[in-house]
Chains A and B, each alone.
Chain A
Amino acid sequence: MTKNIHELRDPIHAFVRLTTDERKVLDSKPFQRLRHIHQLALTYLVYPGATHRRFEHSLGVMELAGRVYDIVTRRENLEYLPREAFSLLSDLSDNMKLEYWRRVLRMAALCHDLGHLPFSHAAERRLLPEGRTHENLTALLVRSPEMASIWSDMKINSEDVVKLALGPKDLPTVSFSALETILSEIVVGDAFGVDRIDYLLRDSLHLGVAYGRFDHFRLIDTLRILPSPPQSEQDEADSDDEIELALGVEEGGMQSAEALLLARYFMFSQVYFHPIRRIYDIHLSDFLTAWWGKNGYPFTTQEHLSLTDSEVMVMMRKAQNDPGAAGHEDARRILERMHFKLIYSRNPADTALNPEAGDQVYVTLRREFGAESFRHDRYTQKAGLPNFPVLLRDDSTTSSLAISETLQRLPVVSVDSVYADPGVRDKAKRWLDKNRGSILQPATEERHDESAI
């Protein structure tokens, strides 16, 4: 008998299961390319275990998306919703549509990273044309002729896959129904997106960093589609208030939700924002920008499919050995591990004086020692408040921030670092220590305008 369910072993989820139709997506060229895209770019130069790829992460995201869908659409788990909410989710009462959206959701989860450039996020902002992101490339690939026949066999509308894989943020001109909004939250949502759940668990395992672990089994079991609680007394009294649905959690799952958000905080501060990891990203971005020149990354599906980390490594090795090649210096810095060294990093006292203290240090050092010897890295974790609905034991809902002291105190991770060429680093550091008082001044209109120039 022909097998219709295919199993793949996975270190996080034990088994990932696919149907024969779903396997055609796995076998497609756009998906197979992900075998050659490192999940965490050059992080393996800092954490040697970080050699895992987008391929297995995407499989994990698909597996989790199916599990979450089965939990949140279970009839008894929708009973808490007010009657008006059911009209927003009417597709879930129709078995055919219920099954359709499950297929679409799993495929959106599987395909959500197809557009990643070589080495994932490292150089995306500088290499892609203004206003374009890897999500645009994901959409192009999902809509490509190769994938069209697969979607047709699966009776799936490719536009639905694009919607759930990208979500409203990356499709600003597309309108989303309440159900589509919730389903895209399952994949890429800020609080409980399975993309995040999988990458925290997987990165943690491969890097040997225990901070990223949390009880995801309990968390998923307690996820629910819930009405957003009133934001204020005034809003509670307003009878015209719209029912906004969001992915939330039962009160009993609150600790696992807190653990997820704490895991995210620790992984960002310990791994994703690790200073050496960040400087390798900067060197890589400088190398790729120099290598591809002013044309930037080739923004066509065919060229994109032909470029992976392997091709970039070959380019980098060529540039390393050729002093006249574009990006030669940065190729050497990466491959010979001669990266720039940290000379300044954000701290509470300096931030209190000037939130852009790193920029003052960077501008001053460049003036004193030359522009080419320094790099500046400024980035704050992208996210909203950890504010999601919680279903209380009396069946009412509340804001998570009204009941969790842990979430109220959850810090935001932010980096503001300056790196120096090892050749000038010690001299520049001594100079910086001596002149720190005069360099770091409160931000003023004039000074800020000047540094922006």
Chain B
Amino acid sequence: MNRLSKAAIITNLVKSLRENGSWAGETHIQKSIYLLQEVLGRDLGLDFILYKHGPFSFDLRDELTALRADGLLDLEPQEIPYGPRLSPTTRADQLQKRFPKTIGEHSDAIKEIGHRLGHRGVSALERLATAVYVSQKNPGVTREARIQALTEIKPHIRPELASKAVVEAEEWLSTHREK
């Protein structure tokens, strides 16, 4: 995928997150794009590793910086002690309009991410994204083994929340595999 098509998708996804109530900080965007790529199969060519707050892409971090450099994303500082939010600019809206085929092709997936994840905070996104990561890395293992793997990676996650995240990941992944 070429760079401007990717820029149109990322900025459109940030817009969708914000319309659905997301804080849209860097971590919210990282997890949402991970899930767009891994669950909904929209390959943006980004490599993710397990890092702070679960799956994280250094390539995406650099791309978000490049989008700020190009005036496609703005930084919105917040009051103490919170981290900044990111918002798509008017220029990003114009870019999306000039990439109708790309946006059209991915709009259902972007809307799904916005609806499903927009209201969630970093902890909830971390649980779900890490549960998906564990499921992708351990295909064919039992649900219990995946819950255990999740709590081993992220010991602060309470078992009942880990279990809920693994079940959600399983269901969401299987819905899209069937499609």
Q: Contact residues of A with B, CB < 8 Å? A: 84, 168-169, 172-173, 175, 181, 228-238, 240-244, 246, 348, 351-352, 355-356, 380-385, 387, 392, 396-399, 401-403, 408, 411-414, 442-445, 448-449, 452
Contacts and interface: CB of A to CB of B under 8 A. Distances in A.
B157 A240 contact: yes
Contacts of A383: 61-62, 65
A229 B122 contact: no
B91 A352 contact: yes
A408 B75 contact: yes
B161 interface: yes
B114 to A, nearest CB: 16
B156 A402 contact: no
B68 interface: yes
A408 B86 CA distance: 12
Given A240-B156, A445-B99, A448-B4, A380 B62 contact: yes
Nearest to B90: A352
Contacts of B70: 351, 355, 414
Given A235-B121, A399-B82, A443-B98, 11 more contacts: A172-B47, A230-B82, A231-B23, A240-B156, A351-B70, A382-B62, A384-B64, A398-B82, A401-B84, A412-B65, A412-B68
Interface of B: 2-5, 7, 23, 25-28, 47, 49-53, 58, 61-62, 64-66, 68-72, 75, 77-84, 91, 94-95, 98-102, 121-124, 126-127, 154, 156-158, 161
A422 to B, nearest CB: 30
A98 B82 CA distance: 33
14 contacts: A231-B83, A232-B23, A235-B121, A238-B124, A351-B71, A382-B65, A384-B65, A392-B80, A402-B80, A402-B82, A412-B66, A443-B4, A445-B100, A445-B101
Given A244-B53, A402-B77, A352 B154 contact: no
A242 B98 contact: no
Contacts of B58: 169
Given A172-B47, A402-B77, A445 B83 contact: no
A414 B98 CA distance: 23
Given A235-B123, A444-B98, A168 B51 contact: yes
B83 A401 contact: yes
Contacts, number: 158
Which of B83, B99, B101 counts the most chain A CB atoms within 10 A? B83
Given A242-B156, A452-B2, A232 B82 contact: yes
Contacts of A448: 2, 4-5, 99
Given A234-B23, A396-B81, A449-B2, A240 B98 contact: no
A127 B167 CA distance: 46
A242 B4 contact: no
Nearest to A379: B66
Nearest to B27: A231
Contact of B4 (A175, A238, A356): A356
Contacts of B79: 402
Nearest to A389: B81
Contacts of A241: 122-123, 156
Contacts of A233: 82
A172 B161 CA distance: 26
A37 to B, nearest CB: 25
Given A401-B83, A444-B98, A412 B69 contact: yes
Nearest to B62: A382
A229 B71 contact: no
B158 A240 contact: yes
A232 B123 CA distance: 11
A381 B67 CA distance: 12
Contacts of B91: 352
A392 B167 CA distance: 40
Contact of A398 (B23, B47, B75, B81): B81
Contacts of A168: 49, 51
Contact of A352 (B71, B84, B161): B71
Contacts of B154: 242
A246 to B, nearest CB: 8
B156 A401 contact: no
Which of A173, A228, A246, A411 counts the most chain B CB atoms within 10 A? A228
The 5 closest A-B pairs by CB, nearest first: A398-B81, A412-B69, A232-B23, A234-B121, A355-B70
B128 to A, nearest CB: 13
A166 to B, nearest CB: 12
B83 A175 contact: no
A408 B78 CA distance: 10
Nearest to A238: B123
Contacts of B99: 444-445, 448
B168 to A, nearest CB: 15
A241 B161 CA distance: 12
A231 B24 CA distance: 10
A242 B151 CA distance: 12
B121 A414 contact: no
Contact of A399 (B4, B7, B81): B81
Contacts of B156: 84, 240-243
A235 B122 contact: yes
Which of A168, A240, A408 counts the most chain B CB atoms within 10 A? A240
A305 B81 CA distance: 49
B14 to A, nearest CB: 14
Contacts of B50: 175
A231 to B, nearest CB: 4
Nearest to A168: B51
A172 B110 CA distance: 27
Contacts of A442: 94, 98
B7 to A, nearest CB: 7
B123 A240 contact: yes
